[in-house]
Each structure stands twice: as structure tokens, then as C-alpha cells.
A = this chain, B = another copy of it.
Amino acid sequence: MATLGLVEYADAGPEVRAVYDDIMATRKVDWINNFWKALARDPVTLRRTWESIKEIMRPGALDPLTKEMIYVAVSATNQCGYCIASHTAGARKAGMTDAMFAELMAVVGMANETNRLASGYQVEIDERFLTSAQAGASVVREVSTQ
């Protein structure tokens, strides 16, 4: 039912197959989920999206499990059904236990609540939060995510 249909491996051209192969090799899986098959009708977007995710999700200053849980947090906040299902599966594979999931959801729920309390009550940002940002910014050195 995907808007442009799904491109199966058998029907894919070499450019799409190369991305599919890299997804399976990188993730150590033997199948391609629907998200990629739906994007594959547009090989340029398929490649760019995969290359970006591969770069962002690899181990760095944050470990893969933390990154997958952040992905679930955003997806639950946006209420994206597909993304909640796929990234909850991804986080489980990366080691998320039931207890970790439950705490993740508790934080996501609370953050969504206090975001609206802060906005609804028209709370002004404390000077200290601004100056600490400025202080942190005073030493301009580059950071790398890799």
C-alpha cells in the first residue's frame, strides 16, 4: 500500500541492490524492511537516507543502544506508528530490556507533559541557563561525532 509501491530485491536495479546489500551487511540481517523498499523507487533518496543513517547510528560518543532509544523517543513523540515499531525492534536487538523500555517511555511521557506546562504557563528562560550556554560556547573548538 506504500504510495509508490515496494521494490523487492529481485526487481531492483544495481544501484538499489547495492544499498540493500550494504543495509543487510551493516545490520547483519538477511531481509530488507518496508521503509527501504518504499524509498527505493527513488534511488537517490534511498542512498542518501541510508548513508546518513549509517553515519549517524554507528558507535561514537553515544553507543548504538542509546541512539536507538533516542530514535524511539522521537518517534513516540511524533506518534509515527511505523517508526515506533521498527525502532523499538531495533533497540531491543541492541540490548534494550523491558525495564529500559518502560523507563524510556516514562521519560518521553513526562517530557511531553512538562513541555506543554512550560509553554502554556509562558515561562521565561532563566538567565542562568542562557549564561551557561554562553560559557560553554566561549571556548570554540570543533567536535567530531566520529
Contacts and interface: CB of A to CB of B under 8 A. Distances in A.
Interface of A: 1-7, 11, 13, 15-16, 31, 33-35, 38-45, 48-49, 52-53, 55-57, 60-62, 66-67, 69-89, 92, 97-126, 128-130, 132-134, 136-138, 140-146
A66 B67 contact: no
B60 A114 contact: no
Given A33-B128, A81-B125, A140-B11, A56 B133 contact: no
A36 B121 CA distance: 11
A67 to B, nearest CB: 5
What does DSSP make chain A's interface, helix, strand, loop or mixed?
helix
Given A85-B130, A114-B49, A142-B41, A61 B103 contact: yes
A101 B38 CA distance: 12
